Amino acid sequence: MTTIISFIIVLGILIFIHELGHFLAAKASGVGVEKFSLGFGPRLVGIQRGETEYRISLLPLGGYVKMVGEAPGEEITEELRAKSFTHKPLWKRASIVAAGPAMNLVLAVVLMPLIFMIGIQVPVYLEKPAEVGYVAPGEPADRAGIRKGDTVVSVAGKETGNWEELLMGLAMGPGKELEVGFLRDGSRLETTIVPDVSEATGAGYGGVFPPMEPVIGGVAPGFPAMDAGLKPGDRILSVNGAPITHWAELESAIHKSGDKKVIKVARGGEEPSFEITPVYNEEAKAYLVGISRQEEQVTRQYGFVESIQRGVASGVDMTYKLFVVVKGLIVGDYSLKTLGGPIMIAQVAGQAAESGIADLLSLMAFLSLQLGIINLFPIPVLDGGHLVFFGMEAVKGRPLSEKFMAAAQQVGIALLIMLMLLVTYNDLFRIFG
Write out the catalytic residue numbers: 19
- Long-range contacts at 414-420 (CB < 8 A, ≥ 24 apart): 415/379, 415/380, 415/381, 416/381, 419/339, 420/61, 420/341
3-state DSSP helix/strand/coil % of the chain, to nearest 5: 45, 25, 30
The backbone torsions φ and ψ at residue 162, rounded to the nearest 5 degrees and listed phi first, read -155, 180
Three-class SS of 118-183: HCEEEEHHHHCCEECCEECCCCHHHHCCCCCCCEEEEECCEECCCHHHHHHHHHCCCCCCEEEEEE
Distance from the first to the final alpha carbon of the chain: 23
One-character DSSP codes across 74-115:
----TTTGGG-STTS-HHHHHHHHHHHHHHHHHHHHHHHHHH
Instruction: Name, in order, each residue with C-beta under 8 angstroms of 424's C-beta and a sequence gap of 6 or more.
Output: 341, 342, 343
Element (H, E) at 386: helix 383-396
Burial class (CB in 10 A: 0-12, 13-18, 19+), 58: exposed
